[in-house]
Amino acid sequence: MSEQQHATTDDTDVTSEKLVELAKRRGYFFQSSGAYGGVGGFYTFGPQGAALKGNVEDAWRDRFAVAEGNMEIDAPTIMPEPVFEASGHLEGFDDMLVECSECGASHRADHIVEDNTEYEDAESLPIPEVEEIVAEYELVCPACGAGLAGQAVETFNLMFGTNIGPGDSDPGYLRPETAQGIFVEFPRLKEYARNQLPFGVTQIGRAYRNEISPRRSIIRTREFTQAELEYFVDPEDDEPDLEAVADVAVTLYPASEQNAEDGSEIETTIGEAVEEGIIGDEWVAYFLGVAKPWYESVGVDMDRFRFRQHLSGERAHYAADCWDAESEVDGNWIEMAGFAYRGDYDLSKHEEYSDDRFTIFKQYDEPKTVERATVDPDMSYLGPEFGGAAQDVVDELEALAARDREAFEGDTVEIDLEGETHEIPVEKTGFSVDEETIAGEHITPHVVEPSFGVDRLVYTVLHHAYREDEVDGEERTYLELEPEVAPTFVGVFPLQNDDDLEAVADEIVADLRAAGLSVTYDDSGNIGRRYRRQDEVGTPFCVTVDYETVEDEETTVTVRERDTTDQKRIAVDELAETLSAIRDGDLAFEEL
């Protein structure tokens, strides 16, 4: 179910506060419906945030769908109740709720316990024990300070419910994960994959969790975006291309180290970690190896990044192995993705609950010849002998032949019928062993699931890119965003409001856009303010058209680099080519 792990404290240091302020001021994100007082857990991405988020999604699509040859689908966010009966969400997707009898505020009981006692994983405790801890420690309501001892702790289902059509006969839920939209369509998706394993299906879209107490900006929200890959494999025959990622260096925090008194993170490679059995499943290892450089490419600081293995108590019972990608933000580790080997759990459940088949026909390389024992009983003997029970005898004989053909080796065979043993002459059973050729079998594929949270990644990328320095004696804030994800790659400014300068700037904007670069034009305020504005939104380069541009014989402009604030003069007719080369990593600004 890839539940998102929360950091256990609510401490935010000054960087997060500054980031959230910048995010609102510059249009990255802000709490929604502020005009109506806002609602916890809902955020709007402003123009910069929507662009950054879109770029991150595109980068994910390129790597996990296109480059891996997987299919992307787009399913509805509302799904009918039977889907969640099968998936287990209706029964078990709960949090512990405690309500304050004084002020009526609702809280997560496990959070109150974790924040105020030495218990670290209260979520995994039984409810009566949590109630006892609340009483024993005399824990109080975080909102009003009233004692919570004696208040019932209840389960609260985290799915948002609604009704489909008039009346309430067709309950529906907003999906708590995009994954179910893939699993439930497996019978069709396998056709698009031409019934060949392995194949992968991705989806980028909204998911919803009705958190009791959403908190920490866009890290724990009630509506968020997931990018999930469900990779369907034949557990016997399919193997990942481990070689391709064997040399990827990773920081791992295995369960054994988390449990050890002086345990610590391990620096290793994917190849070594598999060899040494630290990562148990090769498919999980493969996707960790794909994910690590991808996270780096979108701007996650690798000194504040690790893969942490789930402890046995955290893991869903069906998950053989599960690792989270975690980033450090203000001293807390937050989950950005989960990588789980889920076995056949999901498809088996839908096979069990629905009318469709969630298997795939696996053709053998060569048809197999198998021996099959059958019976063809003599009814003219069984009929008179057993009367109305004759058919039961036939069923028993068939089952016995399939189970234990040696039972037919003597003259008689013994069967049990409602507690009584009967002897039947073997010659009356029509027992025979025949050879049969079969082309293959129906198998239930296993699922490997890399599940990414987009909002938390966006938060991490911004947080890890946040910088403060001093330029010309003045404090400066800037975002050191990777060009691949920055909302704007280049800002273009005419130095002053002057028709000649503006005309050249307009042409440059058109040229750069034609070259596929994302461009912002800005002619308002003095040039220093415009640089500052682009620094704060993380634009890697700015181009200024000044009087030298229009007066000199060789038309040049000033190109300024965000991080160093270094400036160089570049010929206008080389600008698009030069900036494209820098964007593609083929050229460095300092080489100009």
Binding residues for a second copy restricted to 509-548, rule: CB under 8 A: 513, 521, 524
**Binding residue for a second copy (CB under 8 A) from 126, 166, 473, 585?**
166
> Least CB distance from residue 212 to a second copy, whole Å?
6
Q: Are 217 and 21 in contact (CB under 8 A)?
A: no
Binding segment for a second copy (CB under 8 A), chosen from 41-49, 255-263, 267-275, 496-504, is: 41-49
Side chain identity at 547, as an amino acid letter? Answer: Y
Binding segment for a second copy (CB under 8 A), chosen from 140-148, 282-290, 349-357, 396-404, is: 349-357
Taking the C-alpha atoms of residue 151 and residue 135, their distance in angstroms, rounded to an integer, is: 9
> Least CB distance from residue 434 to a second copy, whole Å?
34
SS3 20: helix
Taking the C-alpha atoms of residue 45 and residue 209, their distance in angstroms, rounded to an integer, is: 18
Q: In the complex with a second copy, which residue's Cβ is closer, 274 or 447?
A: 447
- Fill in the per-residue mask, 18 to 37: x = in contact with a second copy (CB under 8 A), - = not in contact: ------xxxx--x-xxxxxx
Binding segment for a second copy (CB under 8 A), chosen from 248-256, 265-273, 352-360, 498-506, is: 352-360
Taking the C-alpha atoms of residue 439 and residue 366, their distance in angstroms, rounded to an integer, is: 7
Binders of a second copy among residues 185 to 214 (CB under 8 A) are 185, 187-189, 191-192, 194, 201, 206, 208, 210-212
Taking the C-alpha atoms of residue 484 and residue 123, their distance in angstroms, rounded to an integer, is: 38
> Least CB distance from residue 452 to a second copy, whole Å?
17
Q: Per rule CB under 8 A, is residue 171 in the interface with a second copy? A: no
**Binding residue for a second copy (CB under 8 A) from 9, 101, 124, 163?**
163
Token pair, residue 237, equals 């025959």
Binders of a second copy among residues 222 to 261 (CB under 8 A) are 222-223
**Binding residue for a second copy (CB under 8 A) from 117, 354, 477, 555?**
354
Q: Per rule CB under 8 A, is residue 167 in the interface with a second copy? A: yes
Q: Per rule CB under 8 A, is residue 83 in the interface with a second copy? A: yes
DSSP of 77-121, one letter per residue?
Answer: SEEEHHHHHHHSHHHH-EEEEEE-TTT--EEEHHHHHHHHSS-S-
Name the nearest CA neighbour of 114 among 92, 142, 79: 142
Q: In the complex with a second copy, which residue's Cβ is closer, 104 or 410?
A: 104
Which backbone phi and psi does 338 adopt, to 5 degrees? -125, 140
- Taking the CA atoms of the chain, what radius of gyration do you get in angstroms? 32
- Fill in the per-residue mask, 376 to 415: x = in contact with a second copy (CB under 8 A), - = not in contact: ----------------------------------------
Largest CA distance in the chain: 116
Burial 435-451 (b: 16+ CB within 10 A, else e): eeeeeeeebbbbbbbbb
Q: Per rule CB under 8 A, is residue 51 in the interface with a second copy? A: yes
Binding segment for a second copy (CB under 8 A), chosen from 132-140, 306-314, 348-356, 475-483, is: 348-356
> Least CB distance from residue 355 to a second copy, whole Å?
7
Which backbone phi and psi does 12 adopt, to 5 degrees? -125, 130
Q: Per rule CB under 8 A, is residue 585 in the interface with a second copy? A: no
Kindly state the number of chain residues that form the binding site for a second copy, as judged by CB under 8 A.
Answer: 80
Token pair, residue 583, equals 């964007």
Residue 338 host element (H or E): strand 332-343
E-strand spans in 219-314? 223-233, 249-253, 266-269, 305-309
Side chain identity at 104, as an amino acid letter? Answer: G
Q: In the complex with a second copy, which residue's Cβ is closer, 36 or 380?
A: 36
Taking the C-alpha atoms of residue 208 and residue 134, their distance in angstroms, rounded to an integer, is: 29
**Binding residue for a second copy (CB under 8 A) from 3, 15, 82, 569?**
82
Binding segment for a second copy (CB under 8 A), chosen from 156-164, 402-410, 437-445, 493-501, is: 156-164
Q: Per rule CB under 8 A, is residue 312 in the interface with a second copy? A: no
Q: Are 462 and 482 in contact (CB under 8 A)?
A: no
> Least CB distance from residue 466 to a second copy, whole Å?
20
**Binding residue for a second copy (CB under 8 A) from 190, 292, 308, 350?**
350
Q: Per rule CB under 8 A, is residue 356 in the interface with a second copy? A: yes
> Least CB distance from residue 221 to a second copy, whole Å?
8
Q: Where are the alpha helices (DSSP H) in 316-453?
A: 345-353, 379-386, 390-403
Q: Per rule CB under 8 A, is residue 72 in the interface with a second copy? A: yes
SS3 5: coil
For residue 216, how many other CB atoms are within 10 A of its CB? 20
Q: What does each C-alpha distance from 351 to 110, 150, 400, 544 come to in angstroms?
A: 34, 43, 28, 63
> Least CB distance from residue 32 to a second copy, whole Å?
5
Q: In the complex with a second copy, which residue's Cβ is closer, 329 or 509?
A: 509
> Least CB distance from residue 185 to a second copy, whole Å?
6
**Binding residue for a second copy (CB under 8 A) from 16, 20, 59, 99?**
99
Binders of a second copy among residues 477 to 506 (CB under 8 A) are none
Which backbone phi and psi does 230 adopt, to 5 degrees? -105, 115
CB contact set of 111 (below 8 Å; sequence gap of 6+):
6, 122, 213
Q: Per rule CB under 8 A, is residue 75 in the interface with a second copy? A: yes
Q: In the complex with a second copy, which residue's Cβ is closer, 251 or 297?
A: 297
